[in-house]
Amino acid sequence: MSVIDEIRILKVLEKTKEPDAKTAQAVINKAKERKGLNLEEVGVLINLTDPVLLKEMFNTAAKIKEEIYGERLVFFAPLYVSDFCVNDCSYCNFHQTNKALKRSKLTMEQVREQVKILINMGHKRVLLEFGEDQKENPIDYVVDVINEIYKVKTEKGNIRRVNVNIAATTVENYKKIKAANIGTYQLFQETYHRPTYAKLHKGPKADYDRQLTAHDRALEAGIDDRGLGVLFGLYDWKFEVLGLIAHAEHMDKAGGVGPHTISVPRLCEAPTVKYSPEYPVSDDDFLKIIAILRLAVPYTGMIISTRETPEIRRKAFKIGISQTSAASVTSTGGYGKQTDSVQFTSHDSRSLEEVIKDALKDGFLPSFCTACYRLGRTGDDFMYLSKPGEIHKFCRTNGLLTFAEYLEDFASPELKKDGYKVIEQYEKKIEEPVMRTKVMEGLKDIREGKRDIFY
Ligand code: SF4
Ligand code: SF4
């Protein structure tokens, strides 16, 4: 089965080039039913220029986000474990030809140190980042790192979910990371456009099909939480959005489980990277991409990173983003020290507390929830709850409990005061008496020192 049919994508873009208002309105109306959109319908939204309908599209995206995910915004941090890499991707500072970079990978002791820093910041979820290098970063090293992270405990808690980004690999290797209890396996296609992919990659990653079929192999190995993404700016964003939707459709059809998340990284500058994008994505188009994806795959979580400025992130949270990194460092072992060996330049240098304060001002409930993965609500089981809108009540409950933990363990007195006001506000909105009682009891327990309560 062909995952990406480029001819079909180009035909869709051509056919939907100038959508009439009636057709566009019909697509928006269909999106309101929260059943997702097909490739052609997404093409209509991609080519939409009518300001009134665009406004309705953004409002619909915000409404869908609210209905499915509610007010919660889940936080995580990336952890760069190794920048050894045999690939030469034109857009990344870790490219193999960067001889100025003093390569490093974390020892188990350094893993523990980095994880303690993240735990003591308040994080409960990490996303591991490894360059591709069979010699330096073999799968057993990846597994050892994951195991080590789960073992680290401080008086402030532990990391409860380890998501992993490793290069496309074999079913056997995926089985090993599955056995190590990973959360989501993330791998980005970077660009779905074959000629562009060929131009920008050298090394094993240059194999477009190896990259494209990785999620299928991960599923074969039992990993049903899988994340997609492209690096916006490498090729025409319109093509890339259709590529993402086609890939999501393939995952759904071939394995019965669509992507758990879609990430929307936008190319940004990096040291030693001279490549300048031929297809830069404007802020307006970037927000349009997020809104369209929210309408097209309403049950897929959407992730934004600190590649974006606080202003853009703030807007993106409202129209579709459900998970965000915060206080990120993009260099190997970079937490707690100054380093310029970063993969890319971050555009949001706020601390976790600052990001949380701003999120509260916008009415979000900061969440450190990891409940679904720990209760086995993944893949089909997750979709079973999320499609009828049932997951929302778990998200709110767990969001309230994990945010209360954060406030007790990490927040300044000022944030604690503001945070509990928001908790009170959302606690009142819980309609189900059983859930409400659980939250009330849980909050009391957390205030009294109990931790890690989840449903
Ligand atoms: Fe290596 Fe990944 Fe950077 Fe490519 S993007 S050079 S594979 S670390
Ligand atoms: Fe995510 Fe599940 Fe927690 Fe909701 S309840 S925030 S879907 S882990």
Walk along the chain (455 residues) and give the pLDDT tens digit of each residue.
589 999 999 999 999 999 999 999 999 999 999 999 999 999 999 999 999 999 999 999 999 999 999 999 999 999 999 999 999 999 999 999 999 999 999 999 999 999 999 999 999 999 999 999 999 999 999 999 999 999 999 999 999 999 999 999 999 999 999 999 999 999 999 999 999 999 999 999 999 999 999 999 999 999 999 999 999 999 999 999 999 999 999 999 998 899 999 999 999 989 999 998 889 999 999 999 999 999 999 999 999 999 999 999 999 999 999 999 999 999 999 999 878 789 988 999 999 999 999 999 999 999 999 999 899 888 777 777 777 777 888 999 999 999 999 999 999 999 999 999 999 999 999 988 999 999 999 999 999 999 999 99
Instruction: Quote the ligand 2 centre to 160 CA distance (angstroms).
Output: 13
- The pair phi, psi for residue 324, each rounded to 5°, is -145, 145
Q: Verify that 204 and 142 share a domain, yes or no.
A: yes
The domain total for the chain is 3
In short, whether 94's Cβ falls inside 6 Å of ligand 1 is yes
Q: Verify that 88 and 61 share a domain, yes or no.
A: no
Q: Give buried/exposed letters for 191-228 (b at 16+ CB in 10 A, else e).
A: bbbeebbebbbbbbbbebeebbebbbbbbebebbbbbb
Last residue of a domain, one of 65, 81, 104: 65
Instruction: Quote the ligand 2 centre to 149 CA distance (angstroms).
Output: 21
CB 235 within 8 A of CB 193: yes
Pocket test of ligand 1: the residue of 85, 210, 332 to mutate, having most ligand atoms within 8 Å of its CB, is 85
Q: Verify that 321 and 332 share a domain, yes or no.
A: yes
Residue whose C-alpha is closest to residue 15's, from 43, 39, 38:
43
In short, whether 265's Cβ falls inside 6 Å of ligand 1 is no
Q: Verify that 109 and 228 share a domain, yes or no.
A: yes
The answer to whether residue 1 sits within a structural domain is: no
Partner residues linked to 128 by β-bridges: 79, 164
The answer to whether residue 455 sits within a structural domain is: no
CA separation for the pair 199, 206 (Å, rounded): 9
The label of the residue with tokens 């869908």 reads: 64
The answer to whether residue 297 sits within a structural domain is: yes
CA separation for the pair 158, 454 (Å, rounded): 15
Q: Verify that 89 and 120 share a domain, yes or no.
A: yes
The answer to whether residue 55 sits within a structural domain is: yes
Instruction: Quote the ligand 2 centre to 58 CA distance (angstroms).
Output: 24
Instruction: Quote the ligand 1 centre to 193 CA distance (angstroms).
Output: 18
Last residue of a domain, one of 334, 349, 384: 384
The answer to whether residue 439 sits within a structural domain is: yes
pLDDT of residue 1: 57
Residue whose C-alpha is closest to residue 129's, from 140, 119, 137:
137
Pocket test of ligand 2: the residue of 160, 391, 452, 454 to mutate, having most ligand atoms within 8 Å of its CB, is 391
Last residue of a domain, one of 333, 355, 384: 384
Burial class (CB in 10 A: 0-12, 13-18, 19+), 387: middle
Q: Verify that 84 and 54 share a domain, yes or no.
A: no
Atom of ligand 2 nearest to the CA of 370: 8
Instruction: Quote the ligand 2 centre to 395 CA distance (angstroms).
Output: 5
Instruction: Quote the ligand 2 centre to 21 CA distance (angstroms).
Output: 37
Provide the phi-psi class of 122: left if phi over 0, else alpha when psi is between -120 and 50, else beta.
Answer: left
In short, whether 132's Cβ falls inside 6 Å of ligand 1 is yes
In short, whether 92's Cβ falls inside 6 Å of ligand 1 is yes
Instruction: Quote the ligand 2 centre to 71 CA distance (angstroms).
Output: 12
Nearest ligand to the CA of 399 is: 2
Q: Verify that 248 and 315 share a domain, yes or no.
A: yes
The answer to whether residue 201 sits within a structural domain is: yes
Q: Verify that 47 and 127 share a domain, yes or no.
A: no
Reading the block at residue 409, the tokens are: 């363990």
Query: What is the DSSP code (8-state) at residue 81?
Result: E
**pTM: predicted TM-score of the whole model, two decimal places:** 0.96
CA separation for the pair 204, 414 (Å, rounded): 50
Return the number of other C-beta atoms located less than 10 Å from residue 304's C-beta.
23
CB 157 within 8 A of CB 409: yes
CA separation for the pair 191, 277 (Å, rounded): 12
Q: Verify that 78 and 198 share a domain, yes or no.
A: yes
Instruction: Quote the ligand 1 centre to 438 CA distance (angstroms).
Output: 45
Residues in Cβ contact with 321 at an 8 Å cutoff, skipping those fewer than 6 apart: 65, 73, 264, 290, 302, 303, 304, 313
Instruction: Quote the ligand 2 centre to 122 CA distance (angstroms).
Output: 17
Nearest ligand to the CA of 204 is: 1
Binding pocket residue ranges, ligand 2, CB within 6 Å: 72, 74, 367, 369-372, 391, 394-395, 398
CA separation for the pair 407, 367 (Å, rounded): 11
Instruction: Quote the ligand 2 centre to 159 CA distance (angstroms).
Output: 15
- DSSP string of 366-425, one letter each residue: EE---HHHHTT--HHHHHHHHTTT-HHHHHHHHHHHHHHHHHHHT--HHHHHHHHHHHHH
Pocket test of ligand 1: the residue of 205, 208, 210, 332 to mutate, having most ligand atoms within 8 Å of its CB, is 205
In short, whether 313's Cβ falls inside 6 Å of ligand 1 is no
Nearest ligand to the CA of 133 is: 1
Q: Verify that 289 and 396 share a domain, yes or no.
A: no
In short, whether 85's Cβ falls inside 6 Å of ligand 1 is yes
Domain assignment of residue 309, given as a range: 67-384
Q: Verify that 168 and 207 share a domain, yes or no.
A: yes
The answer to whether residue 454 sits within a structural domain is: no
Q: Verify that 199 and 241 share a domain, yes or no.
A: yes
- DSSP string of 178-218, one letter each residue: HHTT-S-EE---B-S-HHHHHHH--SGGG-HHHHHTHHHHH
In short, whether 89's Cβ falls inside 6 Å of ligand 1 is yes
Instruction: Quote the ligand 1 centre to 215 CA distance (angstroms).
Output: 18
The answer to whether residue 135 sits within a structural domain is: yes
Atom of ligand 1 nearest to the CA of 88: 6
Residues in Cβ contact with 25 at an 8 Å cutoff, skipping those fewer than 6 apart: 53, 56
Residue whose C-alpha is closest to residue 353's, from 422, 417, 415:
415
Residue ID of nearest Cα to ligand 2 atom 6: 395
Domain CATH for 310: 3.20.20.70
Nearest ligand to the CA of 400 is: 2
